[in-house]
Chain A
Amino acid sequence: MAPTNPGYVSLGERLVLWMDQLWSTVLDSAPYRWSAGAMRRVGLHGRRLVIAVPWLWLLLFFLIPFVIVLKISFAETRWLGTPPYGPLFEWADAQLHIRVNLANYLYLIRDALYVKAFLSSLKVAAISTIFCLLIGYPMAYAIARTDPRWRNVLLLLVILPFWTSFLLRVYAWMGLLGNNGPINQLLMALGLISEPLAMLNTDFAMYIGIVYSYLPFMILPLYSNLEKHDLTLLEAAVDLGCKPFKAFLSITLPLSMPGVIAGSMLVFIPAVGEFVIPRLLGGTDSLMIGRVLWDEFFLNRNWPVASAVAVVLLIVLVIPIMIFQRYQMKETEAEERR
């Protein structure tokens, strides 16, 4: 019996064939061969080139900028200059002066605002992570245990909000939580409250916003981990007399730890530096370090202090970032071995 449409060549396949022709022509052409040979003679082996392109890009546009931030954090603030900071190295009297100004960091430590903002950001991020876990874990678990036919649909439903604008969804909560918003209207109509609850511009709204926005980031790694579990382990446990919930606690939960960690890091780390949600949903006293950095930069035009804030934030986050990267490495290596 012949397969479905044996002679049918789909559009994608036609494209592939065309590209194959293209590559054959290019790779066999004289100019390519000549230049490839020339590069090889100079020592630019293919492998090195391939590594070099992303490496150099990241070096220039990821690593070096951090160095610059560090440098500027030590600079003097010059209010009227463009750019508004003083140089680090200066030649004067034929000698190199290095103006390292720790004043910015001292400023951060002395002013209670910054310390409070850091601590509050960590607190908010941690609590949000926990809530994401509490909501996300059951959802991920439920999707991983449904019929395989429906799993992809459910996953799509989880990812769909992620593809629509983050900004717009935060904005949607502004509408929902407002004094005249539908939630207040509903509560008043049900007679539960007599006056509208001030939900917008509060910490409460901020928490909702963060949990809402980062929930898919918790669900996806958790699902990816839970989906790979060998269900016969649970069957064996139950067969040996273990109650289902206990089996969950002693088998599923520990095995899902890598997913829990990945999801938690994916939520916690960016949440610490979150700016948009505190600005749109939080109150004036919802102190988040992301907002502080933004205001320091755009409102106060104090670039050195903003840089110092960024450096400290980075230092605070270094350990969680390394945990995340260690997890990433282990996961992909386990994946490759499979």
Chain B
Amino acid sequence: MRNRSFFLLTALVLGFAFLYIPILSMIVYSFNESRLVTVWGGFSVKWYGELFRNRQLLESAWLSFRIAAVTATGAVVIGTLAGFVLARFKQFRTRTMFAGMVTAPLVMPEVITGLSLLLLFVALAPLPFVPDTRGFSTITIAHITLTLSYVTVVVRSRLASMDESIEEAAMDLGARPVAVFMKITLPIIAPAMISGWLLAFTLSLDDLVIASFTAGPSTNTLPMMIFSTVRRGITPQINALATIMVGIVTVFVIVAGILMARQERRRQLDMRLAEAAAAAPRG
């Protein structure tokens, strides 16, 4: 037994080392005075300065941000509906096909989805109401299609673990189905929708392949800029960017984690208090 825990512990430590060494190395080198990785030139934040003066990079970041925000919102709307359909409508004629279409983007290689969406936009271009140049809208549509599957998975899982009789109770008390969804279901699945939003946001922000296919000639998203930069080699500005991103994500995750843990602790305490009070002999 001891050998087993030793083995497991080593596996964990090595595994996490493997996962985090690259991230840590980027953070370290972002503060390296020297441009070269061979030499440690001293602590410096000059790369951060250069980063903030890099207009192109900042503009592409802003574009990616906006795309991600719209994508996440659209993905949550459509993904929640899809998740609801899969969780609550057990029988309708095209269900298998629908389920297949929803889960396929989860594993589909991005080159295929990127290519197919581009060809769609090209084919649709002659239509009057379609925007001529590919850019913000096309990338956003492509991203929504990609990320809504993830939202569906999260929302569906939350709906499945929810007590369905709550929705029935609401109907029994006089609420029509739409009212049940808006007043009862939505508040309950709201946390899942929020994590779905964040997930879609991250995926959109990070996507290179699909954006490359569906972007127009003058559109550059952040990943596209990073890709063209790093193809030429190491740029410490990118290290600085990476450190900032890791920092933001870490802070966010820690804060969210603490808030949720505290809420859960309070909840458990309340439940125990209630049971104890009920079990105590009445005075």
Contact = CB atoms under 8 A, between A and B. Distances in A.
Interface of A: 1-5, 12, 16, 19-20, 23-24, 27, 36, 46-47, 50-51, 53-55, 57-66, 68-69, 72, 83, 135-136, 138-139, 141-143, 145, 152-154, 156-161, 163-169, 171-176, 178, 180-182, 185, 212, 215, 244, 265-266, 269-270, 272-276, 279-280, 290, 293-294, 297-298, 303, 306-307, 310, 313-314, 317, 320-321, 324-325, 328-329, 332, 335-336, 338
A182 B37 contact: yes
Contacts of A279: 231
B156 interface: yes
A224 B227 CA distance: 34
B70 to A, nearest CB: 15
**Which secondary structure characterizes the binding site on chain A?**
helix
Given A54-B102, A135-B18, A244-B1, A310 B245 contact: no
A174 B230 contact: yes
Contacts, number: 274
Interface of B: 1, 4, 7-9, 11-12, 15-16, 18-23, 25-26, 29, 36-38, 78-79, 81-82, 84-87, 89, 92, 94, 98-113, 115-117, 119-120, 122-123, 141-142, 144-145, 148, 156-157, 160-161, 176-179, 182-183, 186-187, 190, 202, 205-206, 208-209, 212-213, 223, 226-227, 230-231, 234, 238-239, 241-242, 245-246, 249-250, 253, 257, 261, 266, 269-270, 273-274, 276-277
Nearest to A215: B19
Contact of A165 (B20, B87, B112, B245): B245
Given A53-B81, A139-B11, A328-B103, A270 B266 contact: no
Contacts of B142: 61
B25 A175 contact: yes
- Most A CB contacts (10 A, CB to CB) among B9, B22, B190, B261 go to B22
Given A50-B85, A165-B245, A276-B227, A270 B119 contact: no
Contacts of A336: 87, 160
Contacts of B183: 20, 23-24
Contacts of A4: 266, 269-270
A169 B22 contact: yes
Contacts of B38: 180, 185
Given A27-B178, A54-B81, A160 B37 contact: no
A291 B106 CA distance: 20
Contacts of A60: 120
